Amino acid sequence: MTQTTYRFYLKIQQVEKVCLFELAWGRGQQLSVTLPYPDNLTIFYQDWQTKYLSFYHKALRGRVVSTGTIIRQVDWEQKLVQAEAQLLCEFHRWLRHEKLFEIRAIIAQAAKQKTENLLPSQHNTHVPTIDIFLTCNSQDLCRLPWEVWEITEFAASSKIRIVRQPINIHDTPVNYQSKPCRGKARVLAILGDDTGLNFQVDREAVKSLSPIAEVEFVGWQPHEGQAELKDKIVKAIKDERGWDILFFAGHSNENLNTGGELAIAPGISLSMIEIAQSLTIAKQRGLQFAIFNSCSGVSIANTLIDLGLSQVAVMREPIHNQVAQEFLVRFLQSLAEYKDVHESLLSACQFLKLEKNLTYPSTYLIPSLFCHPDAPLFCLQPSRIKDKCKRWLPSKKEAMALGALILCSWQLSTQSFLIEKRVLVQAMYRQFTNQPDSKNSPPVLLVEIDEESIKKAKISDPRPMDRSYIAKIIDRLTSINAKIIGVDYLLDRHQPKNDRQLARTLRSSIKKQNTWFVLATSRNQAGGWFEPLPKLASPNWQLHGDTFIVGYDSYVTHFTLLPRQYSSKRPLPFAYWLAVAHW
């Protein structure tokens, strides 16, 4: 589904107990509103944060300073849920202030106009999207969950998304659309200090992108020195082949002086200032998006956007190891479906809110996406035609199986077996469903000598059948140009009165239109065969086939339709010779 995006830029500045909301949009339009900042909001946030850290005090992907000793058992989950509800209630109450009504109304009106401007054919394929680039000038404002601001109550028909933007941005993003496509996207995954953590799920989640992206991992090894490890990571970041996505898993923390710190090994940290130059080079070589599946990443995101990266996804608060893994798996699943990074992040947060909120309360409030205002949202692109063709190439095992199948299919015995089964199934289907093929005239005409015909011909004893009567039928078939005639009567015994007439009829039909005759034969009790009399049919112009009925009083239920190896010891089936003659 295509998204039609419209942008607003909302800057919120806090000066003591007053907040200034400045909305900019369109062609230089602006609106400013001054709103008092409620003291309770800070109190409720701090209360929520305390209970959040108390509930998730183990396996956090960051270093949390201890605030005291817990003496008695406390139901921190229940207290966290209550603190979240109290925080969000106060937050929404503040944002519903009457002074903000005009700002919300302008955004809602833009969403409504975008919906009305859609063509009738676009209503099911296009979703009007409003992106609000939010900038906050203080850490207290940055920590608030702006992503859950309920502006959509004014514009339910459109999608309103809030992305974050640093207050200071010095560099511009690279225009990657003008650069030649290098095929698959490239992902650099940095695995940092895993003390108290388990990165197995992270590793597998990133590896899941392998069908559509090239993934490489870098991380610390036992007995590796600090300088050696830092040099390895820096070289990997500025690899000449370039990267599209930078991923980090491990412990991290905010630091306003260094732009954030990454724990890359036990006791070893890497500040953003140390790798700023490498990140700038990586940006020039294609790096667009970074995701830090670690704790407290606001200052890290601000630093990277300031360097000119397109988008950065971070956790604003300390995050539990299992929550980080749940988020990452869902995020990368959406990214692999070629959704942009914002849609992928919203999908992962929605998953945490709707399906994991009972297990991991409040965690859906933690992820945030920071964006450069002059960069399009990053998303993985489907491979080019050559890469698409590679997807259809079989693996080694599939190629071996396919080769074996082709080799077997070349064998006539295999072809015969498969065709027999197919014809059998088709015949059974038509018989059971009573659906004869009435569109095409059958190439075979079955002439049955029934009781009524015997009476009309005044034949007193039809066993053996009067051969003069058989001769009359052959004369009639010859007159209607029958090229192949099969006689399913044994002609092994003499009928002195009628043999001459039948022999004359057979020779006459052959002379007139070169008719093929297939005469019946059958096994006798002595083990031999009842063959037609030589004076009736010469072996030079007649075929004789076994009249044994396949499937009648026997286990065999099919014919061999492809040419089969002939054996003079046993005649081939009567129906087979008819088919060969017709072929």
From 322, 320, 342, select the one nearest 331 (Cα to Cα).
Answer: 342
Distance between CA atoms of 318 and 147, rounded to whole angstroms? 17
The set of residues, in sequence order, having a beta carbon less than 8 Å from that of 350 and lying 6+ positions away, is 364
Tokens standing for 149? Answer: 């601001």
In the chain, how many H helices and how many E strands? 17, 18
Contact indicator for 576, 560 with CB cutoff of 8 Å: yes
- pLDDT value at position 406? 85
How far CA 117 is from CA of 24, 114, 258, in Å, comes to: 22, 5, 47
pLDDT in single tens digits along all 583 residues of the chain? 556 678 999 999 999 999 999 999 999 999 999 999 999 999 999 999 999 999 998 777 665 554 444 445 789 999 999 999 999 999 999 999 999 999 999 998 888 887 777 666 555 556 778 999 999 999 999 999 999 998 866 545 568 999 999 999 999 998 876 555 567 899 999 999 999 899 999 999 999 999 999 999 999 998 899 999 999 999 999 999 999 999 999 999 999 899 999 999 999 999 999 999 999 999 999 999 999 999 999 999 999 999 999 999 999 999 999 999 999 999 999 999 999 999 999 999 999 999 999 999 999 999 999 999 999 999 998 866 655 666 677 888 888 888 888 888 788 888 888 888 888 888 888 888 888 766 666 677 777 888 888 888 888 888 888 888 888 888 888 888 888 888 888 887 888 888 888 888 888 888 888 888 888 888 887 878 888 887 777 766 666 666 554 433 443 344 444 455 555 567 777 777 777 777 6
Q: Coil, helix or strand for 549?
A: coil
Contact indicator for 333, 112 with CB cutoff of 8 Å: no
Tokens standing for 187? Answer: 């992902």
Q: Would the pTM count as exceeding 0.85?
A: no
From 119, 122, 113, select the one nearest 158 (Cα to Cα).
Answer: 113
- pLDDT value at position 552? 38
DSSP strands (E only) in 205-329: 213-219, 245-249, 251-253, 261-265, 268-271, 289-293, 311-315
Question: Which amino acid type is present at position 329?
Answer: V
- pLDDT value at position 474? 86
β partners of residue 21: 12, 33
Contact indicator for 20, 34 with CB cutoff of 8 Å: yes
Distance between CA atoms of 310 and 415, rounded to whole angstroms? 59
